[in-house]
Amino acid sequence: MCRNDYVMSAETPEPDSPTILLSAGCLFHLPLKRIAQIGRDAGFCGMELIMNSPKLKPGAGLEAISDMLPIRSLHAPFRDWAAWGGHLGSWKATTALANALPQADHITMHPPGSRLANMIQNRWFEKACDLPELLDAKGRIRFSLENMPWAEGSPFSRDPLDKLLDQCRDKNVGLTFDVCHMGVSGRNVMDAIAKVPMERLYNVHFSDARGHTEHLSPGKGALPLDDFLRHLTARGYTRYVTLELEPAAFPDDLEKTVAILADMREAMEHRLAEGARSREHAESLS
């Protein structure tokens, strides 16, 4: 059920089921207003806005788009950081925009790269112990670091997911669990999500994968997505699930695109509801 009037705050209790968002990246070749119209018509509760240009700034234009389909989450830039004056500048610009959008309460960020050149450039990240304070976030804004595709390392090395969860705790942020990134890393996504504390999980990027091909439509890959969604609500997850696909998943026909997105959303809602009913049944027996 869509809750377009829902805004997270310190005084507002969290909803009892996840909110399904449409990533603007699904249709990034279209104007943002058109993406909002399509998402609204397909029944989504909100959008995750991709920060792909410094021209995205607070103002009447974005407010009008958010009135059409609430911008609830933002995705910080993941390339061309020099356009914002560096990695830190891009995150601060994203935070300033989220602060100005009344229904936004979350920002997903890619951790800075681990190459030596990146580490030198982003040594501020290594020293940061409270990213919300560093980035001047309003109290309602939550941040999360996203798991990226990982190459298989030594069987004796530490699990990158464990390292990322430690990093989230150290930086006072949550986790965005990208299902297809975990899949193309050769990981069992059910085993991986079982390791994540639900209180640390703020967002899920949802798509399928097969081999090294990412962001496929649900059912077009090899990941156990139905079981994954049931698992989330069976464990009481109530925050965001963001559909994040490649534009190639959709036809040029806008009406067909709306219909495809509506079908995907309804299927996701159904699986989430199944998991919630399983949890309720288990609690009734305890």
Dist CA 274 CA 32 (whole Å): 33
Dist CA 204 CA 26 (whole Å): 15
Range(s) of the domain holding residue 278: 19-149+156-285
pLDDT at 116: 54
pLDDT at 120: 59
Within a domain: 45:
yes
pLDDT at 112: 81
Distances 238 to 8, 13, 81, 273 between C-alpha atoms, Å? 12, 11, 32, 11
Within a domain: 225:
yes
Within a domain: 8:
no
Within a domain: 171:
yes
Entry pTM? 0.91
Within a domain: 4:
no
User: Which CATH number is 239's domain given?
Assistant: 3.20.20.150
- List Cβ neighbours of 211 (8 Å cut-off, separation of 6 or more): 184
Within a domain: 12:
no
Within a domain: 130:
yes
Helices (H), ranges, the chain: 32-41, 60-68, 87-100, 116-121, 123-127, 131-134, 160-171, 179-184, 189-194, 225-234, 254-285
Q: Which residues of the chain have pLDDT under 70?
A: 1-15, 113-121, 152-157
Q: Which two tokens stand for residue 145?
A: 């670091």
**pLDDT tens profile 135-178:** 999 999 999 999 999 876 545 567 899 999 999 999 999 999 99
pLDDT at 121: 62
Q: Residue 242: name the closest of 223, 222, 260, 261 by CA.
A: 261
pLDDT at 53: 92
Q: Domain count of the chain? A: 1
Within a domain: 85:
yes
Dist CA 185 CA 183 (whole Å): 5
Distances 31 to 6, 24, 244 between C-alpha atoms, Å? 25, 10, 17
pLDDT at 214: 95
